[in-house]
Structure 1
Amino acid sequence: MSEIETLFGVLRQSVDEDVVDLIERMVREAPDHALSKINPLHLAGEASLDEEEVIGALLRAVGLGILEMTWSVMCPSCAGVLSANKSLKTVNSAQYHCAFCAAGYETTLDNLVEVTFTVSPRVRKIAAHNADELSLAEYYRQVFWSSAIDLPTDVDALMRELTLEAVDLPPGERAILSLQIRAGMLILFDPVTHTAQFIEVKGEETSERQNLALIFNKADVPVDAVTLRPGALRLTLENRTDTRVLPAVWVADGRLDAVLTRRRPSLTAKRLLTNQTFRDLYRTETLAIGQRLKILSLTFLFSDLKDSTGLYEHVGDLVAFDLVNEHFRLLQEIIAAERGAVVKTIGDAVMATFETPDRAIAAAIRMREAMSELGAQRQQQGLLLKMGIHEGSCLAVTLNGQQDYFGQTVNIASRVQGLAASRSIVVTEQVVENAETRNLLEAGGLVPTRRSVALSGIAERVSVYEIP
């Protein structure tokens, strides 16, 4: 039996057969470019498979050495990769700058960091494992652009359509290009060093040859802009790095905009942090001690068993222990099924996160029903959950040796849970104002009741809603 067969045999022990078949078929048969920056959401959609199952399978394949995982900081405007990282621990800049777009972005995990997967060279060697082997077009597809951009199959034709000239320039060499430029905006850009020069072409056409020079090195220089007239241009490019560069002169018009705005869903770091399989596998290895990464919007659910002390007194330690453990199992199963993850348990309480408020609401409704069914099965009608949900910004951090969250949003969610009576789900205004949440509640015939409350540590009164 080959090593590949052995590895996929192990993967089949914990992953759905159809998903494993898909990954194995890709590893064996797919073209090289399809095995670089694998986008799990696009992959699941193309194969009509469950997204969470595909994400979980790819994560387990990483653990077996079949795949490698990359955390890419990407520009939300052009979808270019600004920084590729093997671990979230090295995403440590407060802001990233895109030379191609001449724009800076605050580092957040919502839409700035995507996670992709690449086949391991241990299993199959592809050209992307050595970027110097890639053509200019393939370098843009497999290295520079993120998996979020929906590129056409023929990237070479795309480059010919959108660029005036492009060159593969070895280290230490210089190239001189002669161009005829027309009125409009041009971008001279190298995806290796992320060096850019904006060229605005306007005015009367000139019969004199114009000259422009650009030096590529590893120094971080601000993006410059020059104004030229339509006509002949002598462009001198010099590579002072120890690797090749791939400068191209892009025509910045509607055709380029049309390409850059064609997007497909991709796996964000925020979503991956709310994936239960990821937390199970990487809960202690995600962030460095002291590292803090901002999330603009995350939904927190806190639950607690009502009167658990009385339960222990009523049925005894052994029966109560079994009930509490079964309650934890059911809750984690439901939370994972609704694309959430359990962050931690505190006594009989659970803290969970969800990418969006509607997922948390769906989980809470299912959790409430599951506890009622469990109580009926075990003849414990008092087995009830108190739940609170809040959505807002927070920091992803490491606390007590595992990936956790910090901030006022977490505090409010915890305190809102304390307002819940038996079987009630108490949520904040941010949660019920979510459009998908409203649709979910209306479909279930659930009408929230509003009240204004004071929460400890919060200066102003807070509007909360009780879901019956």
Structure 2
Amino acid sequence: MENVSGKAPVKGTGHREQTWTWHLPVPPDELWPLLSDTARMNEALGTPRYNVEEIAQPDGSVRRHARADYKGVKVEWDDRPYEWVAGRSFRNMRIFERGPLAYFGIDLLIEPDGDAASKLTYTIHVAPRGLLGRFLILTGLLRKSGAAIETMVRQAADHARGLRPLVFDYQPPAPPPGATERLQALSNELAAGDYAHGLAGRLAETIATAQEVDLIRLRPRRLAEAWHAPLRNVVELCLDATRRGLLTMSWNLLCPRCGGAKTQLATLDKLPRGAHCPSCNIDYERDFTRNVEISFQPAASLRPLSLGEFCMGGPHVSRHICVQQHLAPGETRQVEADLPAGEYRIRALQPGGESIIHHLGGAFPAIMAADDGESFGVTPGAPAPDGQVRMVNESRRMLSLVIESREWRRDALTAHEVTTLQAFRDLLPEQVLHPGEDVGIDHVTLMFTDLEGSTALYERMGDGAAYRMVRRHFAYLAEVVRDYDGALVKTIGDAVMAAFADPAQAVRAALAVQGGIDKLNRKYHIKTAREGKPVTEAVILKMGLHAGRCIAVNLNNRLDYFGSTVNLAARLQGKSRGGEIVLSEALAQDPAVQPLLNDRNARAESAELKGFDQPVPFLRLRAG
């Protein structure tokens, strides 16, 4: 068997190990996500959760000391960080201070085995502590553990082949008295609302039957992927389920290194400006666009969840990490790892610096920890051969070197994304920042609209009729903005301000608004007299859009935006004529926006705008 970690396991008195090999008709890339999910496997095996104390060490590293009660036997151990190569291998070792064992470790290796098949090698390392430990080993601890693992492996392979719905056999705990009836009633109520999208039954089933590892942090992106449903539909479902009492909501301040939710709060106004991650032993700031995430849990009255960990720090928890290896001082190690082209961050689990590598494909550059143990980069020597990675620790201390993808937030639904959805503002209007607080937004697209000639419209139609017409156009704008994943921030007289997380969706919404105005006018054809002749009145819109940085604030108990991005979007709307969309040049040059403008008759202009020192370039286009 290949030594997964590159070094021998801990040896001690009474050391035993046993290896199993299975040949499975599933390719490695389908098997890895299932078998590397060690928390799910432990829960399905009936392993109780354990408590972890994270203790900062003088050298900046973190000791993870765990405690648990296994069928009346109290055990304590140091939970060593996993080592792994994503898609191929992982290793873990627990060193016990209390209990019948001195240590217990596992090695897993998945290799291709012909066409669309895998060879799986699994090894357990164990040593006893005292008579009870020796008795457990003599009476078949290894054999029983191997049989249980084989069952899980076979179940995972069958799931990957579509032969069973669940990854592992799992029996949820008995619900609290009345919970089943409450869940059914609330699910029916949810299904009858405007935001269920036919998914209320799926959510109720998930709450009742899913494993706790899935429920402790329900993430809409993962649900949308599993249910093959549009993300906005799932987000709206979860928001409405929170309002109705099926779910509770949590704002999570994610660590920028490990991605863990180290601060979790129920309301946005309680979110701190920063937090400390005990797992990484670092302090970090909040970033609404990057590391403030919204997630959900079942209401405790419907499905109470236990406390503690099923497994801490495994490959599935940190799916953004491609390679994680522990290197002794001065050690050089080469591991099998085929990393595709992309941007990677090189760092250590211990506090220190980092380095960004733009990998173009082929041989991955050899990476090095400098002698200070806090600087990382590329070694001047030749890289390892294709399909391998060479890692060098030139420092005088043990380091856990990490190669991670920069796309670790792909599962997270950020606060910026959810607060720019209309359903969030409609369903949970009380979720706002604390008065006087502000948060920076790296990139938001803002749309301003206004009615052309609204003053004359009121004079011709009369206040009542004109007001009804204005309200109808507000409703029309709100509907289109929601359809394109945006939110109406506020109305200002006859004008509207809307926000979008995605610039392309904002431009699509603007085109759709202008493209549908004729239909709106035909639906509400209102006739008045002008110079003694009947005239059909029409809504004619002016629109301006710009994208950039701004700040979000609490204004009149509503999330609002301020800054030069807001001012420029409003000024551009002022340059629009009826039926036109005016886009800032910066927005028009966005790579996702450019294809939307290719077939449009757009004209480039620039103008001096109030509050801006230099002329502002923009594009003027008609939707038709």
Q: Shorter-chain TM-score: what band?
A: 0.7 to 0.9
* CA deviation map 1:283-317 (0-9, x unaligned): 34311100111101001101011111222222333
- Residue identity matched to 1:283: P
Are the structure 2 counterparts of residues 110 and 262 from structure 1 closer, same or farther at C-alpha, using a change threshold of 3 Å? closer
TM-aligned CA deviation for residue 187 of structure 1: 4.2
Distance 1:414 1:384 in 2: 17
Percent identity between the aligned chains?
Answer: 29
TM-aligned CA deviation for residue 182 of structure 1: 7.8
Quote the residue 2:175 is aligned against.
none
TM-aligned CA deviation for residue 319 of structure 1: 2.8
Distance 1:151 1:74 in 2: 14
Are the structure 2 counterparts of residues 182 and 64 from structure 1 closer, same or farther at C-alpha, using a change threshold of 3 Å? farther
- The answer to whether the aligner puts 1:344 opposite 2:490 as a matched pair is yes
- The answer to whether the aligner puts 1:436 opposite 2:616 as a matched pair is no
TM-aligned CA deviation for residue 111 of structure 1: 1.1
Are the structure 2 counterparts of residues 416 and 64 from structure 1 closer, same or farther at C-alpha, using a change threshold of 3 Å? same
Quote the residue 1:361 is aligned against.
507
TM-aligned CA deviation for residue 202 of structure 1: 8.2
TM-aligned CA deviation for residue 81 of structure 1: 2.6
- When the two chains are superposed, the root-mean-square deviation of aligned CA atoms in Å is 3.2
TM-aligned CA deviation for residue 82 of structure 1: 3.7
- Residue identity matched to 1:433: Q
Indicate which of 303, 326, 329 corresponds to 1:124: 303
- The answer to whether the aligner puts 1:8 opposite 2:162 as a matched pair is no
Indicate which of 437, 446, 453 corresponds to 1:300: 446
Secondary structure of the structure 2 residue equivalent to 1:411: helix
For CA contacts below 8 A with separation 6 or more, give which structure has more relative contact order.
1
Indicate which of 401, 410, 428 corresponds to 1:252: 401
* CA deviation map 1:130-185 (0-9, x unaligned): 23xx23x1x5479x95xxx5489xxxxx9xx9687xxxxxxxxxxxxxx9888269
TM-aligned CA deviation for residue 186 of structure 1: 6.9
TM-aligned CA deviation for residue 116 of structure 1: 0.8
Quote the residue 1:193 is aligned against.
none
Distance 2:191 2:544 in 1: 38
Secondary structure of the structure 1 residue equivalent to 2:575: coil
Q: TM-score, normalised by structure 1?
A: 0.73
Pick which of 39-48 and 80-89 moved more.
80-89
Alignment of 1:423-462 (within 5 A): 423-442=579-598, 445-462=599-616
Secondary structure of the structure 1 residue equivalent to 2:465: helix
TM-aligned CA deviation for residue 369 of structure 1: 2.0
Alignment of 1:130-141 (within 5 A): 130-131=307-308, 134-135=309-310, 137=311, 139-140=312-313
Q: TM-score, normalised by structure 2?
A: 0.56
Indicate which of 198, 208, 232 corresponds to 1:28: 208
Question: Gaps (5+ residues) in structure 2?
Answer: 1-179, 333-346, 352-368, 373-392, 526-535
Question: Gaps (5+ residues) in structure 1?
Answer: 153-157, 165-178, 190-199, 204-224, 231-249
Distance 1:453 1:151 in 2: 45
Pick which of 327-336 and 5-14 moved more.
5-14
Alignment of 1:3-82 (within 5 A): 3-14=182-193, 15-16=195-196, 18-82=198-262
Are the structure 2 counterparts of residues 86 and 372 from structure 1 closer, same or farther at C-alpha, using a change threshold of 3 Å? same
Secondary structure of the structure 2 residue equivalent to 1:37: coil
Indicate which of 269, 272, 290 corresponds to 1:111: 290
Distance 1:383 1:253 in 2: 58
TM-aligned CA deviation for residue 448 of structure 1: 2.2
TM-aligned CA deviation for residue 80 of structure 1: 2.5
Secondary structure of the structure 2 residue equivalent to 1:27: helix
TM-aligned CA deviation for residue 372 of structure 1: 1.9
Larger-Rg structure? 2
- Residue identity matched to 1:252: L
Are the structure 2 counterparts of residues 141 and 36 from structure 1 closer, same or farther at C-alpha, using a change threshold of 3 Å? farther
Q: Quick check: 2:191–2:198 contact (8 Å CA) kept in 1?
A: no
Distance 1:318 1:354 in 2: 32
Distance 1:180 1:369 in 2: 65
Q: Quick check: 2:330–2:395 contact (8 Å CA) kept in 1?
A: no
TM-aligned CA deviation for residue 91 of structure 1: 2.3
Distance 2:611 2:410 in 1: 42
Are the structure 2 counterparts of residues 455 and 105 from structure 1 closer, same or farther at C-alpha, using a change threshold of 3 Å? farther
Q: Quick check: 1:42–1:264 contact (8 Å CA) kept in 2?
A: no
Distance 1:229 1:394 in 2: 43
- Residue identity matched to 1:313: E
* CA deviation map 1:229-265 (0-9, x unaligned): 68xxxxxxxxxxxxxxxxxxx84245xx37x866643
Greater fraction helix: 1
Distance 1:261 1:51 in 2: 18
Q: Quick check: 2:280–2:349 contact (8 Å CA) kept in 1?
A: no
Quote the residue 2:539 is aligned against.
383
Alignment of 1:228-239 (within 5 A): 228=396
Q: Quick check: 1:274–1:341 contact (8 Å CA) kept in 2?
A: yes
Q: Quick check: 2:331–2:394 contact (8 Å CA) kept in 1?
A: no
Quote the residue 2:621 is aligned against.
467
Q: Quick check: 1:300–1:413 contact (8 Å CA) kept in 2?
A: yes
- Residue identity matched to 1:326: R
- The answer to whether the aligner puts 1:403 opposite 2:559 as a matched pair is yes
Q: Quick check: 2:255–2:261 contact (8 Å CA) kept in 1?
A: yes
Alignment of 1:262-281 (within 5 A): 264-281=410-427
Q: Quick check: 1:187–1:251 contact (8 Å CA) kept in 2?
A: yes
Q: Quick check: 2:241–2:247 contact (8 Å CA) kept in 1?
A: yes
Secondary structure of the structure 1 residue equivalent to 2:198: helix
Q: Quick check: 1:92–1:291 contact (8 Å CA) kept in 2?
A: no
Quote the residue 2:331 is aligned against.
183
TM-aligned CA deviation for residue 440 of structure 1: 1.4
Q: Quick check: 2:280–2:350 contact (8 Å CA) kept in 1?
A: no
Are the structure 2 counterparts of residues 104 and 447 from structure 1 closer, same or farther at C-alpha, using a change threshold of 3 Å? farther
